[in-house]
Copies of this chain bind each other. A is one copy, B any other.
Amino acid sequence: MNMRIVSTVDEIRNARLILDGTVGFVPTMGFLHAGHLALIRRARDECRHVIVSIFVNPTQFNPNEDLAKYPRDLKRDFRLIEPFTDLVWTPTPEIMYPQGYQTWVEVETLTSPLEGAARAGHFRGVTTVVAKLFNIIQPTKAYFGQKDAQQAAVVRRMVRDLNFPIDIVVCPIVREADGLALSSRNVYLNAEQRKAATVLFRSLSAAKELYEAGERDAEKLRAKMKTVLASEPLAKSQYVSCADYDTLDELTAIKGKALLSMAVVIGETRLIDNFVLAG
């Protein structure tokens, strides 16, 4: 396969126009890992053509966050995706947000809790850039990771509310052998922190064990996760949640499909992880 790399809007539009049949699209911020590759391989399996975008979107970082130091390695990214990808688009911030830019897409209720509460403006940046990418790429299907569970829910909601003619496919979390969810931010962890980082998986697993033993009191699952997190001195919990899978409302009693999720800071690095309880 001959992967084509383009950067302007006109180039990607023209390259897209000559693709016939189904187009699978994987939006990324680069520094790709096996989690991204699972999305791209799934797109390859399901669609005639695969388009990947690599864009570290400034509008989804708030001023206190790690935009400038977000890890980047385009050459390595290209090498990794080349076997599976027809077309890769790497726009600049100036291409995506030119002088005078002033339009925003916002999902309301679903963006309030969890990541939305911890990261002001984050989801407005996500939904805006995804809407732009969808309008430019015009994919048949778009692929997102379950790792960013709330993002997947918010994008699904936006697509339904604004009637984008696109199927959203959410793919399972890819993990290291010891359970750590793959993330571009894992490179920030030193050896000691890396070891401590398994506490997210361990605490989710402990809560799931309770659930599988029959526990349906959401507060008991949250308490279990907190206890396990508290046992790791390097980990500072930001939130711990047991919520309805669709609305993300915190639950009292677990009845249907639910989401266990958490954000934990280790050193300077903020990690998130989640399990779905199938209901």
Contacts and interface: CB of A to CB of B under 8 A. Distances in A.
Interface of A: 9, 13, 101-110, 127-128, 131-132, 135-136, 138, 157-158, 161-165
Nearest to A166: B135
Contact of A104 (B13, B105, B165): B105
A248 B22 CA distance: 42
Contact of A105 (B9, B103, B109, B138): B103
B104 A163 contact: no
A86 B231 CA distance: 67
Contacts of A106: 103-106
Contacts of A132: 161-163
Contacts of A135: 162-165
A231 B88 CA distance: 63
A151 to B, nearest CB: 14
Give this chain's copy count.
2
A105 B157 contact: no
A127 B105 CA distance: 10
Nearest to A247: B100
A263 to B, nearest CB: 23
A164 B162 CA distance: 13
A136 B159 CA distance: 11
Contact of A165 (B13, B157, B164): B13
Given A103-B157, A103-B158, A157-B103, A138 B109 contact: no
A272 to B, nearest CB: 22
A123 to B, nearest CB: 11
A108 B97 CA distance: 14
Contact of A101 (B13, B104, B161): B161
Given A102-B110, A104-B105, 11 more contacts: A9-B163, A101-B161, A102-B157, A103-B105, A103-B158, A128-B162, A132-B161, A135-B164, A136-B163, A136-B165, A138-B165
A189 B258 CA distance: 57
Which of A128, A138, A158, A162 has its CB near the most chain B CB atoms (within 10 A)?
A162
A105 B105 contact: yes
Contacts of A107: 102-103
A5 to B, nearest CB: 19
Contacts of A13: 165
Contacts of A104: 105-106, 108
Nearest to A105: B105
Which of A106, A128, A157 has its CB near the most chain B CB atoms (within 10 A)?
A106
29 contacts: A9-B163, A13-B165, A101-B161, A102-B107, A102-B108, A102-B110, A102-B157, A102-B161, A103-B106, A103-B107, A103-B127, A103-B157, A103-B158, A103-B162, A104-B105, A104-B106, A104-B108, A105-B106, A106-B106, A131-B162, A132-B161, A132-B162, A132-B163, A135-B162, A135-B163, A135-B164, A135-B165, A136-B163, A136-B165
